[in-house]
Amino acid sequence: MRTTFTEPVFCAAAALTAATLTDPIVEGLSNAGLFGPGRFTDHSNLDVIPAACVAAALALLAVFRWLRVWCAQLAPVRVTDSLPKVFLLQMAALYGMETVEQIATAGHPLGGTIWLGGPAIVSLAAHGLACIAVTWLLSRSLSWSARTIVRIVRATIEFLRTLVQDPSRRSYRLAIALPNVRQPYLRALAGRAPPFILQATIH
């Protein structure tokens, strides 16, 4: 069984991650007046936090899904196959995030291209670059995480198997170093029990 990084869970995680990272940047530049006096944003970024949480959950789910396959069977990462799907999901996620946020803050969608957070060309270019960068970085980091977890599991299983197959390794000796101040008294006893000392009371 082989797997690739074009599966829907990974694409959704990459799309949401790219959207939540890029949207505040584009909106911040628009609010700062970099693109002129036009109204490009709704002056709110409340949608970023829940979207980022969902993206993190999807990323973890992608790792757990890949753990079903041993590292040696993982297919080579082909980010280019994922980019069109990720970009479409990213723009859909951005539109959904902004629309829900506008309904929550203004009571209705604001319409137009305000959901882009800036001039259409600038916003699409920024989200396109983020799509490439995030998809590539996320594929590498999640792949590394999955492979590392598999190596740890394999090492643990091998260690336990060694303990079961070799009983001599199951016995351990615990050496306790006694403080030096007690050593002379212990040698003086020469294996005898310590004497019982009665304390005299002076009247």
Give the pLDDT confidence score for residue 202 in this predicted structure.
47
Q: Quick check: is 86 in a domain?
A: yes
Structural domain total, the chain: 1
The neighbour count for residue 62, using CB atoms within 10 Å, is 25
Q: Quick check: is 182 in a domain?
A: no
Residue 77: band (very low, low, confident or very high) from pLDDT cuts 50, 70, 90: low
pLDDT at 59 over 70: yes
The parent domain of residue 79 ranges over 8-165
Selection from 147, 2, 153, 140 nearest residue 73 by Cα: 2
Residue 197: band (very low, low, confident or very high) from pLDDT cuts 50, 70, 90: very low
Q: Quick check: is 121 in a domain?
A: yes
pLDDT tens profile 119-138: 999 999 999 999 999 999 99
Computed over every residue of the chain, the mean pLDDT equals 79
Cβ atoms of 65 and 9 closer than 8 Å? yes
Cβ atoms of 9 and 57 closer than 8 Å? no
pLDDT at 175 over 50: no
Q: Quick check: is 34 in a domain?
A: yes
Q: Quick check: is 181 in a domain?
A: no
Q: Quick check: is 111 in a domain?
A: yes
pLDDT at 157 over 90: no
Q: What is the mean pLDDT of residues 59-88?
A: 76
Q: Quick check: is 203 in a domain?
A: no
Q: Quick check: is 117 in a domain?
A: yes
Give the pLDDT confidence score for residue 178 in this predicted structure.
43
d(CA 31, CA 38): 10
